[in-house]
């Protein structure tokens, strides 16, 4: 069976600069899920036209909106770029410029032109689960996100916080700590 070989990492997007090229429906969807997960993400958008809902969302989260067509100068200082325009040639140009600078890039509707995919994201306090179908079925990623949002109890965060406190009180070496924490959390998987 083919398997998903993507490697998930959890980015501190409040200290990374993200650029979204385009301000339409797809830009809004990508921005919505980015900010739902990470409300303090530092995002700039550039487009000659922003849709009403995109503007409302961007304003609410202090997203900078630049009213212009894409130009490679807008990549300066950016760590991550998401291209969402309705002009394929513009999206591919964004991709090429990013590759030339070693900037991570995602062309929203074009998997071969992605260094990374956005995923389905479930957040419960400090706990976060990211879901990917390897780009095969975004709808499944969405449904799994909805499923886990439903079944993971809200109080999972209390457990994490209690264990964080407990972890600080355990004396002894690394092995002893691991043993005690494993003992305390055994019931979670039984
Ligand atoms: C490869 C990837 C690249 C990327 O965009 O990063 C990608 C690509 C494409 N999406 C398409 C369509 C749709 N995307 C969604 C929804 C989501 N798409 C997301 C991620 C990804 N989408 C990446 C792979 C993720 C993975 O590995 O599973 C989610 C998880 C996260 C997010 O968007 O932030 C978010 C759900 C968030 C949530 O609800 O939690 C829906 C469902 C809906 O809107 O109800 C539809 C319509 C139904 C359908 O087509 O399935 C098309 C076809 C376009 C066309 O037909 O023209 C392509 C292009 C292609 O597949 O070729
Ligand atoms: N709408 C959808 O649900 C989906 C659409 N797509 C594809 O994604 C693309 C975008 O779709 P939508 O967001 O719906 O289109 P849209 O028309 O809502 O938005 C397009 C955006 O691109 C901007 N743009 C155009 N040329 C630009 C340039 N040179 N520089 C910067 N920005 C520029 C426009 O100003 C506008 O903000 C289309 O190719 C579509 O086929 C893919 C998946 C789903």
Whether ligand 1 lies within 6 angstroms of the CB of 35 is answered as no
Whether residue 170 is predicted with pLDDT greater than 80 in this model: the reply is: yes
At 164 the three-state DSSP class reads helix
pTM for this prediction: 0.93
Q: What is the pLDDT of residue 71?
A: 98
Angle at 131 between CA 125 and CA 137, to 5 degrees: 145
Q: What percent of the chain has pLDDT over 90?
A: 79
Whether residue 168 is predicted with pLDDT greater than 90 in this model: the reply is: no
Atom of ligand 1 nearest to the CA of 4: 27
CB-CB contact of 43 with 31 (8 Å): yes
Q: What is the ipTM of this complex?
A: 0.94
Whether residue 190 is predicted with pLDDT greater than 80 in this model: the reply is: no
Question: Ligand 2 pocket test: which of 86, 94, 107 has the largest number of ligand atoms within 8 Å of its C-beta?
Answer: 86
CB neighbourhood size of 117 (10 A): 17
Give Cα separations from 29 to 7, 98, 144, 188 (angstroms): 23, 22, 17, 35
- Residue predicted with more confidence, 157 or 148: 148
Q: What is the mean pLDDT of the chain?
A: 95
Whether residue 171 is predicted with pLDDT greater than 80 in this model: the reply is: yes
């Amino acid at each position: 069976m083919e398997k998903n070989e993507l490697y998930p990492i959890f980015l501190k997007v409040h200290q990374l600069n993200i650029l979204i090229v385009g301000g339409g429906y797809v830009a809004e969807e990508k921005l919505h899920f980015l900010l739902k997960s990470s409300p303090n993400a530092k995002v700039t958008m550039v487009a000659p036209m922003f849709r009403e809902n995109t503007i409302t969302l961007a304003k609410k989260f202090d997203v900078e909106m630049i009213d212009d067509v894409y130009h490679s100068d807008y990549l300066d200082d950016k760590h991550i770029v998401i291209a969402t325009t309705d002009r394929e040639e513009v999206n591919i140009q964004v991709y090429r410029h990013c590759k030339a600078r070693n900037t991570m890039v995602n062309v929203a509707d074009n998997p071969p032109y992605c260094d990374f995919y956005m995923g389905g994201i479930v957040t419960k306090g400090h706990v976060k689960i990211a879901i990917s179908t390897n780009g095969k079925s975004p709808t499944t990623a969405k449904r799994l996100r909805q499923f886990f949002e439903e079944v993971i109890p809200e109080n999972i965060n209390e457990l994490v916080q209690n264990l964080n406190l407990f972890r600080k009180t355990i004396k002894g070496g690394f092995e002893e700590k691991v043993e005690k924490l494993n003992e305390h959390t055994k019931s979670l998987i039984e």
